[in-house]
Amino acid sequence: MSWLYTGAMSLNVTPSSALLLFSGGQDSASCLAWALNRYDRVETIGFEYGQRHEVEMRARLDVRRRMAALDPEWARRLGDDHVVDLTGYGMLAESALTADRAIEMDTSGLPSTFVPGRNLVFLTVASALAYRRGHSVMVGGMCETDFSGYPDCRRETLDALQASLTLGLECEMTIETPLMALTKAQTWELAQALGGDRLVELIRIYTHTCYRGDRDALHVWGYGCGDCPACELREAGWHAWQSMGANP
Ligand code: ZN
């Protein structure tokens, strides 16, 4: 087993391409900008798993197109988009995100929006595509700071999965999580640094985060119902960033 890790460590080459888990939300859009700055080719993957709102799937194509329009180099680097049907998994892992249940805390302290094993499933499925398409890096917007306590967002979980995938595929597979240690305010700051005011405005208006799929009202922090956990987090992050002296 150890030779695999030794082999991986000796690969002293910066990977030139990556596969990004892209939902069309604020976090994965920020990760897309990060990846487009870093890799020569970036492909995106999204998952249909029975979300109550198709708005998320529409947002991701819109954000991709508008991101490419911001910078000719980003346009050149942005590769194919892939959508994988995981509705069977969604039915299995039914929760408030995929069924008509109220968003609340359950007895284990996790919000009912928790979809058991979601990131493990997404990354494992994505690794099959990454393997076929020649990517040794996957990028995801998981974050363990401002988040709702999802255990599959922890870096520790992803380190274990990364080791499993590297062994199971018998080739190095790295999971990059550029937002892992960032607060939502710092994620806005990152977007500002990567793409300036135009990227911040793109993310504010065109990304979608709201669990309820609400796009009726545009708030200063973007569209959403304003009172689901995702909206509350996004709103709080925006205001925290503003109070840090942001200048969008
Ligand atoms: Zn909402």
- What integer pLDDT is reported at residue 99 of this predicted model? 55
- What integer pLDDT is reported at residue 150 of this predicted model? 80
- What integer pLDDT is reported at residue 246 of this predicted model? 67
CA of 196 to the centre of ligand 1 (A): 26
CA of 145 to the centre of ligand 1 (A): 20
* SS (HEC) of 5-41: HHHHHHCCCCCCEEEEECCCCHHHHHHHHHHHHHCCE
d(C-alpha 92, C-alpha 22), whole Å: 22
The residue among 213, 219, 243, 235 whose CA lies nearest residue 57 is 213
Structure tokens at 26: 């604020």
- What integer pLDDT is reported at residue 177 of this predicted model? 96
- The domain ranges of the chain are 15-208
CA of 117 to the centre of ligand 1 (A): 22
CA of 86 to the centre of ligand 1 (A): 23
Q: Name the fold adopted by 15-208.
A: Rossmann fold (3.40.50)
CA of 146 to the centre of ligand 1 (A): 16
- What integer pLDDT is reported at residue 51 of this predicted model? 65
In sequence order, the 6+-apart residues with CB closer than 8 A to the CB of 243 are none
Q: What is the full per-residue pLDDT of the chain (248 aa) written as tens digits?
A: 333 333 344 444 568 999 999 999 999 999 999 999 999 999 999 998 876 568 888 899 999 999 999 999 999 999 999 999 998 888 777 665 555 555 555 555 566 566 788 899 999 999 999 999 999 999 999 998 765 668 888 999 999 999 999 999 999 999 999 999 999 999 999 999 999 999 999 999 999 989 888 889 999 999 999 998 889 999 999 999 999 876 55
DSSP state string for 169-216: HTS--EEE-TTTT--HHHHHHHHHHHHHHHHHHHHHHH----TT---S
CA of 101 to the centre of ligand 1 (A): 14
In sequence order, the 6+-apart residues with CB closer than 8 A to the CB of 3 are none
- What integer pLDDT is reported at residue 176 of this predicted model? 98
Structure tokens at 186: 């710092």
CA of 1 to the centre of ligand 1 (A): 46
- What integer pLDDT is reported at residue 10 of this predicted model? 41
Cα-trace Rg, the chain: 18
Which one-letter DSSP state was computed for residue 145? S
CA of 212 to the centre of ligand 1 (A): 5
